[in-house]
Structure 1
Amino acid sequence: MSSTTEDADADAGPEAEGRPSLWRNREFNLLWVSQSLSDVGTAMANLALPLLVLQLTRSPAQAGAVGTVGLLVSLACRLPAGVLADRLDRRRVMIVCDLLRLLAYGALCGAVAVGAAGITLVLGVVVVGAAANALFSTAEHAAVRALVAPAQLSTAVARNEARAYGTSLAGPPLGGLLFALGRSWPFLGNAVSHLLSLAAVVCIRTPLQRPRAVPTESGRAAGAEGVRFVLNNPFLRALLLIAAPLNMAFTGMLFAIVVSLQRAGTPSFVVGLASMIFGLGGFLGAFAAPALQRQLPLPRLLLVLCWATTGLMAVSALFATSVLAAVPLALAVFLGPTANAALFGYQAAITPDHLQGRVISVILLVATSAAALAPGLAGLLLAHLSGTTTMLVFALIVAVSACAATFSTGIRTMPDH
């Protein structure tokens, strides 16, 4: 193990040992529940917001702009969020974020209910919500290490993966149902979810960070320190090279499948079924993650994930105009939660507590930026190539991750446990 790992282990402190199991860990479960509620509310609002803008403006372009603004704000806030999560009390940061989201979506709910909502208010709420989501999620990721024993980190991340896939499956249908009942209801539901999340976070008693010295460097210097730590660590550099192409490929493949099915005249409910099959693969994979981790050490797991995904995406391309294309993709994403749990668990173990937020923000920025480019790339490819060829391009992109996992020194020199 490197000296960096030893420093991180020492930073964890002796009190990290002897933690209860995750199912009996009150503090971890409060944090998990709080973010589960936030995730469901955010998923409901993300579905309802473009629908609301369409009804208000009759403009698909403006409806699309709402999503783009939220994405850009989220990306812009990633690195500053990491600095704040490392400098401020993480529990207080999450409380402030929940308060901001509660007030923003409560105001939107009231405005929609009385017919006073306009595009300016919607964009303001989107900006506040996206910034608060970025900061909350960064602080929450960084806080997990303070609540569980080092040996439980991978399992804790797997639990969070299950939560993410579960809320992505449940949130949009619930948001659509509430919007059909009344345009303000999804935003009321989102506001209530943040109120409940706020209550859960308030009840957390354990400090979510180690004691720190008063920072003397500027925010820019603090952010640069996180970037340097990632770039100077062979494992974290490899993680960026693996995660970015994988995220881009999965997002692009799903987009290409949806467009190809629509081109073929597939009914809308069948198109939705493709997305559900994809999400279900990840949801089931999150539950299988602890058992798979025991069978596959991380270096071997990464090789299996990357090369299997390359082959499965190639198979998926053969069924570009059929909902069956989602099945190989679901099989590929089945291993994703296990890999994420192992990777982020190891990342948390080797990163000192005072750098957790910044390191996580760098990784998430790179991964989400790559995924954000995927729909545009897929659309450009589909404008000139067939669905099958487009999907094969994304399979080749995954091969880049496979080569990184195969030849990277940071992966090959990892402890095989």
Structure 2
Amino acid sequence: MSLGRSFKVLWGANALSNLSDGITFVSMPLLAASLTDDPRWVAGLATLYAVVRLTVVLPIGVYVDRLDRRTLLVLANLLRGAALVCLALTIHFGPATLMVLYGVMAIVAALESVADSSAIALLPSLVKKDHLDGANSRIAATQLAADEFIGPPLGGLLFTAGMVLPAYVMGGLWAAAGAFALALPKRSRPTQLAPPEQRPSVYREALEGAQWLLKNRTVMTLALIGGLSSIGYMLPFSVLVLFADIQLDLNAAGYGILLAFSALGGLAGSFITVPIRIRLGYRWTITSSLILGASTLALLAYTTQVVLAALLLALYIMHAVVWNICSTSIRQRLVPSELLGRVGATSKVLGLLGLALGSALGGLLATTDIALPTLVGSIIFCGCVLLAFFLPRDPESQVSR
């Protein structure tokens, strides 16, 4: 099924950006761990990332609905590239410090919110609604290949070869993603902007998105699940680099390979989501995926075997991909185009609060036992399963309206 040239451009830009994200996921915690052995500071990098995104997400949602989404996507990627090149120069020519690392990652976090929100809001204008599941599945498959299969081992190997190399590579990839996105259609806003003096405040426009979300049972339930699952995800993953070292006895390269193997489950998830959703419907597909997430984390907390841990992480990533494709497609279909940025931003507030809370708790719990964050994450996913039962019995019937 061909989804058109414009989709392929967005797909390609996302692939380049996701490859940089995958390198970041491994290399930045490794850089932090090389500067401190305190798990709270290592986990604090993820906490900072979430807090910055939480701070900017609502106004960014407004501007994604106000401004040309293609321009926002291009600028966000180019500026992320510039920030990482600055970090690389700092590492190369001067002593790297945690404060420098934290400052650059704060900038990258804000720009990632712009890029992600713009791309998600762009997609429904590039493909037909009936093709959104397929389009999101292709993006998810490429994201997994780049973000978790290729990026993590590449990040680990680059870091092993030289602490500065990952930053240079990440900067170049983000700059390339921005240049690639220049081929997207220039005008993708659903409506014309009112004159500045007639525009409502950013706060009032953001409130419109929140009000719409509160009135829609399906999208609101998905947002609540997203917030809670973010806590469950970040609890173990904020200290996963330490878990791999202490409980699994892996070095930097081994850690990257472990994450790369887990991406195989995500790739499988991207291929099976559409047929499973067609057979079971959105509600039971989402519920089943969350049960898988809870059970894999529970088992992971008790294993010291690298192969078993890799298999469990692969199944966990499979659940995450299935959940993400279904929830994103439902939101893109149900939310009016002119509100996609703001409703998406409101949903992200819950998710980012969860990420911030989960990473902070992960660091604290890890000081007691390195496996404790993973076990608590499993318990939280059980709560997500309960929430999924509050989804409408047939949410896909709302999607088709």
User: Structure 1 residues 143, 109: closer, same or farther in 2, change over 3 A?
Assistant: same
Query: Would the aligned equivalents of 1:308 and 1:332 in 2 still touch at CA under 8 Å?
Result: yes
- Quickly say closer, same or farther: Cα 1:328–1:226, change in 2 above 3 A: same
Residue identity in the other structure for 1:207: R
Q: SS state of the match for residue 411, structure 1? A: coil
Q: Does 1:414 align with 2:395?
A: yes
Q: Cα deviations across residues 223-257 of structure 1 (Å, max 9, x unaligned)?
A: 11111111111001110232233333244355687
Read off the aligned partner of 2:84 and give its amino acid letter.
Answer: Y
Q: Which residue of 2 aligns with 1:361?
A: 345
1:259-304 Cα offsets, whole Å, 9 max, x none, are 6665556344766665444333223211322332332211221232
What residue in structure 2 maps to residue 189 of structure 1?
Answer: 169
Which residue, 187, 201, 220 being the options, matches 1:207?
187
Residue 323 of structure 2 aligns with an amino acid whose one-letter code is A
SS in 1 for 2:135: helix
Alpha-carbon distance in 2 for matches of 1:378, 1:64: 7
Aligned to 1:21: 2
Q: Describe the superposition over 1:334-361 as per-residue Cα deviations: whole angstroms up to 9, x where unpaired.
A: 2432332122112111111111011112
1:127-276 equivalence runs, <5 A:
127-169=106-148, 170-205=150-185, 207-214=187-194, 216-253=199-236, 262-264=245-247, 266-268=249-251, 274-276=258-260
Q: CA separation in 2, counterparts of 1:167 and 1:179?
A: 17
Q: Note the 1:45-194 alignment, pairs <5 A.
A: 45-49=24-28, 51-52=30-31, 65-115=44-94, 121-169=100-148, 170-194=150-174
CA distances 1:383-417 after superposition (whole Å, capped 9, x unpaired):
56794x765543332222222222x2x42252458
Question: What TM-score comes out, normalization by structure 2 length?
Answer: 0.84
Give, in whole Å, the separation in 2 of the partners of 1:322 and 1:101: 37
Cα distance in 2 for residues equivalent to 1:227 and 1:285: 31
What TM-score comes out, normalization by structure 1 length?
0.81
CA distance in 2: counterparts of 1:203 and 1:175, whole angstroms:
28
**Offset, 1:168:** 2.5
Identity %: 25
Aligned pair count reads 391
Could you tell which deviates more after superposition, 135-144 or 241-250?
Answer: 241-250
Using the TM superposition, give the Cα deviation of residue 382 of structure 1 relative to its aligned residue in structure 2, in angstroms. 5.5
Farther-moved stretch of structure 1 (280-289 vs 253-262): 253-262
Q: Shift of the alpha carbon at 1:365?
A: 2.6
**Secondary structure in structure 2 of the residue aligned to 1:238:** helix
Contact 2:20 2:174 in 1 (8 A): yes
Counterparts of 2:322 and 2:55 in 1: how far apart (Å)?
28
Q: Distance in 2 between matches of 1:386 and 1:115?
A: 33
Report the CA distance between 1:70 and its aligned residue. 3.1
Structure 1, 42-51 or 27-36: larger mean CA deviation: 42-51
Equivalent position SS for 1:226: helix
**What is the deviation of 1:217?**
0.9
Tell me the amino acid that sits aligned with residue 386 of structure 2. C
Match of 1:295 in 2: 279
What corresponds to 1:280 in structure 2? 264
Q: 1 CA distance for matches of 2:153 and 2:44?
A: 22
Report the residue type matching 2:326 in the other structure. A
What is the deviation of 1:309?
A: 3.9
- Is 1:352 equivalent to 2:336 in the alignment? yes
Is the CA contact (8 Å cut-off) linking 1:230 and 1:237 kept in structure 2?
A: yes
Contact kept in structure 2, 1:256 and 1:391, CA below 8 Å: no
Question: Structure 1 residue 340 and structure 2 residue 324: aligned?
Answer: yes
Distance of 2:248 and 2:325 partners within structure 1: 38
| Partner Cα distance (2:228, 2:258) in 1 | 22
Q: Is the 8 A contact 1:292 1:338 kept in 2?
A: no
Aligned residues of 2:248 and 2:305 also touching (Cα < 8 A): no
Contact 1:314 1:395 in 2 (8 A): yes
| Residues 261 and 321, structure 1, Cα contact 8 Å, conserved in 2 | no
